[in-house]
A and B are shown apart, each in its own frame.
Chain A
Amino acid sequence: MKYLPLIWSGIWRKPGRTILIFLQVAVAFVLFGVLQGLKTGIQHAVDAARADLLIVHGRQDFIFSGLPLGLLEQIRSVPGIKLVAPVELFGSYYQKPENGMLIVAVRPDRDWTDAFTFNVAPDQLAAFSRSRTAALVTEFAAKKYGWKIGDHIPLVSQVANKDRSMTWTFDIVGTFTDSDFTPGQYKILANYDYYDQARVSNTGTVNHFNVAVTDVNQAVAVADAIDRLSTNSSHETKTESIRELAQQQVQQIGDLDFLVHAVVSAVLAALLFGTATMMMQSVRERTPELAVLKTIGFTDRAVFFLILVEAVVVCIAAAACGLALSTLVFPFAAKIVTGLAMPPVTVATGLALAVALAAVSAAIPAVRAARLRVVTALAER
């Protein structure tokens, strides 16, 4: 403890240099924080994805299943199932083709939201089940297009309805948020029966079924049982939990790890040179002072640690500052991937790296300082 003032004055001996080193290290750790945040954010989102929520889709074609609605009753008979919900998806746009909206048609049965990742206020949920043309929109889209409860919005789609029109009109009764791994921001929830009865072609089919299971440990067995229902039929299914789907999506961006590691290594390598040179220089300049310290009784070991601790303090402070700054960048990076996070383990890794950086860059100068021979050092003056 009594060495603290000495270390402190050592750090601020040349304020300009210390501030520059500090900034250089801080900037490097901003980058480290952002890249690691991206990685762990994605991993967390995958782990948080529900394993008890299954998606039953066509085996070969994930997007164009066209599964018969009749499967619903069969799936319901599989033991271990809490809820089955049919889902039909179709694309549309609002006013201009650039303003895409994904229409998700569902049946507002009792507790239907248990089989989805949507969060809806209870009164709006009730309003949604009361009317056939009712719809819920994402909060994001509602804000962007200025939609309010009670608005009638026309959406143009590629699906014709019985009025020979491609335009579908919905009444907004509320908004929802989606806690899915990759939530679409332009989504609208509509009534499946309204949609199915009004469309001209492909009636009685759904894109996929959402299934909630009672026991998450039985999810795999339930999924297999569901797929067995349609084996050797013209519409074989594949059932996967949304966690499995999220994992597959992450695997698609497989080389991300390599990229993050490569960039972080390059940054640290460049940094190491900078800090090492600066420490070396600092010790060289302070040779006479260090010699004086030894003259008044400081051991070699004490001088060694003095130099080392100096570097460690600067690097840790700068790294902490950089990591804190990187969390400020997260909202911007959310444009690319949502859910960036800075868990304690990233902070710990970052600080450990900072200590390692300081130790490696200060090792040679610290040894040199410890080996200093008082007589020669003072004679140089």
Chain B
Amino acid sequence: MNFLRQFLALLRLNLEGERARLGSVLTIFVGVTCTVAVLVSMLAMGTGARQQAEGDVHDDEVMVQAQGAQGGFDSNISRDQMVTLRDLPGIDRDKDGEPRVAGIVFVPFEGHRRGTGRRVFFPLIGSSDVKFELRPPAHLTEGRLFRPGLHEIITTNACVRQFDGFGLGARREVRGVDWTVVGHYDQGQSLECVVLTDAETVMSLFNRNGFNRITVRLKAPSDFASFNRALEANPVLKLEAKPAREQVEADMKQFKGLLNFVSYFIGSIMAIGATFGAVNSLYSIVDARRRELATLRAIGFGSGAVVAATLAESILLALPGALLGAGLAWLLFHDMAVSPFGFSFRLDVTPRLAEIGIAWALVMGFIGGLLPAQRAARMPVTTALRAT
């Protein structure tokens, strides 16, 4: 009890004196603010990219590709395999009793960025059942659907924003054939540019005889086990299936790991720097109060209370910086669309990231306060009192 009273009295004393030590306090504040702002903004890239990738995933959808294929471009699924696959158990059927299965074929498609004219490749997707791509929340916003076989395409609104030549009625040449943009659609979360048409047209133009990927809609997400068992038991189907969410997560894993590695690397170095700054400031705060501290010790304050109060002061000084840093990251960067790696996504500053930033600041405050607190407690009373 006594300890607690001493601690609170000391803490109040510490904090009331901060106004006189503005320089030192600002050093801690600015250091922590910058560190947390940078860390949170950088982590927001990983969160945003993931949020975008997973936002449009339907849990009852399964992605099927050839065994051992990497990334889908080298996956080839023949029409025969497609026919066999349609009869597997667990697949949802429409009102005519047709299984809900879509064969997807993709080929690279060239676009030029608006303004800069930079060339970027993204997939031209041919789908055998466009209902999969336009499943709500995705929806047409303008124009109409493409008609099969007529070299018509629809694109996401992101294409119109990011690239030249995707307006309604625009013509795009692919392999010597003119394609007409007849509609625009929204995918939901995603900012990615997708160009969509029917699978047969793409396959005949590119001399392709199979699909890259098959998307299957199950009756319920829990039907995946029985579907997968039947798929693996069939020797003709050398295919592997993954729930769509798992597939997207696997695709994102490496990218997000890299982003987080870079974020934490930069965040750590900045935190080390800011902690040194905090140690320095706290040392000078303690030094400036030598006589005060010695007097308190002389009238009976315990060294434990002095340590605790200095540590608490250090942590409390770090907190406002953390809040401001996270707030700045949110104000400046939340929902900002960036494309640092060729594709666009929105930064997403979530409460979880603010928590990480605040935790980071608390650790900085704690470590920064350790040595100065020790000095404060070990101050020899007699010499300190004699000090000028």
The residues of A with any CB-CB pair to B shorter than 8 Å are 16-17, 20-21, 23-24, 27-28, 30-31, 34-35, 60-64, 66, 90-91, 93, 97, 100, 156, 158, 232-234, 236, 248, 251-256, 259, 262-263, 266-267, 269-271, 273-274, 276-278, 280-281, 336
Contact = CB atoms under 8 A, between A and B. Distances in A.
B176 A271 contact: no
Contacts of A236: 176
Given A253-B340, A253-B342, A266-B34, 13 more contacts: A20-B276, A20-B283, A23-B276, A91-B74, A93-B68, A97-B67, A158-B76, A255-B340, A262-B38, A266-B35, A267-B270, A277-B27, A336-B261
Interface residues of B, number: 55
Interface in B8-67: 23-24, 26-27, 30-31, 33-35, 37-38, 66-67
B273 A277 contact: no
A317 B109 CA distance: 52
Interface of A is mostly: helix
Contacts of B69: 97, 158
A145 B118 CA distance: 39
Contact of A24 (B23, B121, B258, B277): B277
Contacts of B110: 60
Contacts, number: 141
B176 A63 contact: no
B357 to A, nearest CB: 13
Contacts of A93: 68, 70
Nearest to A91: B74
Contacts of B258: 336
Interface string B125-136: 000000000000
Given A61-B107, A100-B70, A281-B284, A273 B27 contact: yes
Nearest to A274: B277
Contacts of B121: 62
B341 A64 contact: no
Contacts of B24: 277, 281
A66 B208 CA distance: 11
Contacts of A271: 273, 277
A165 B69 CA distance: 16
A17 B284 contact: yes
A17 B273 contact: no
A20 B339 contact: no
Nearest to A272: B30
B31 A274 contact: yes
B227 interface: no
Given A20-B280, A21-B280, A60-B110, A28 B273 contact: yes
A100 to B, nearest CB: 5
B35 to A, nearest CB: 7
The 3 closest A-B pairs by CB, nearest first: A274-B277, A252-B342, A277-B23
